[in-house]
Amino acid sequence: MADKLAEFKDWFSNGGGYFGDHVELRYDGLRNLHLRVAAGQQLHSGSCIVSCPHALTLSHLNIREGKSASLSVSSLNLLRFFLIEQYHLGEQSFWWPYIRILPDPSSEHPFDTPLYYSDDDLKWIQGTSLEHSRRKMDAMWKEEHADGLQKLFPSDTSHYPWSVPADLSALKSQLNRQEIVQVGCDSHMLKELPQ
């Protein structure tokens, strides 16, 4: 993870991003990836903790630039498809240094949320409202995915070859939990969107 963090920090700062000297980006097994006040430092009122220029943000606003405002896919769903595409582009993606520090959706347990609980863990929520909510959320995401595929690639969904809904739900969950996620325009998928 140290290599990934170093690559991300370089990409971020080279793109005009800034982390204050008094904070550090850290990874540990308890909190995963997080910012914290660096050892021996204090955070004062008015301190700039982090600054991210628009060019580095992964956003539906960037995706829609130059596209018809009438595109009938929700902004969040469009962003989800874009993030999945960028994940599958790997090192070819401009966003790869950021994407590779997110939890890996292909790992056995990418997230510790109910949607990704193991069968053993699911036993603990049987009969609760959480079990019901989990089923509804899973069904909703699968429906949104099918709707998005139909609208983005109406004549041929083979333009979207990667595995879903497993990748989709994992990356959707991550997107829903991220605060600093916003996305540039020069993408293969964007060139294929209906005008």
Q: What is the 3 state secondary structure string of 59-111?
A: CHHHHHCCCCCCCCCCHHHHHHHHHHHHHHHHHHCCCHHHHCCCCCCCCCCCC
Residue 141 confidence (pLDDT): 85
User: b/e string for 43-53 if b means 16 or more Cβ within 10 A?
Assistant: eeeeeeeeeee
Question: Given the structure tokens 């955070």, which residue do they identify?
Answer: 43
Cis previous bond, 165, omega within 30: yes
d(CA 33, CA 161): 30
d(CA 118, CA 16): 41
Alpha-carbon distances, residue 139 vs 17, 48, 51, 136, 195 (angstroms): 37, 41, 37, 5, 29
Residue 184 confidence (pLDDT): 30
Question: Given the structure tokens 């630039």, which residue do they identify?
Answer: 65
d(CA 141, CA 49): 34
pLDDT truncated to tens, each residue of the chain (195 aa)?
889 999 999 999 999 999 998 888 888 777 778 888 989 998 888 888 999 998 888 887 766 654 544 457 788 888 888 888 888 889 999 999 999 988 877 777 667 778 778 888 899 999 999 999 999 998 998 888 888 887 777 766 665 544 444 444 444 444 443 332 333 323 333 333 333
Task: Give me the residues paired with residue 25 across strands.
Answer: 35
Residue 132 confidence (pLDDT): 94
Task: Give me the residues paired with residue 35 across strands.
Answer: 25
pTM of the model: 0.68
Neighbours of 170 (CB within 10 A): 23
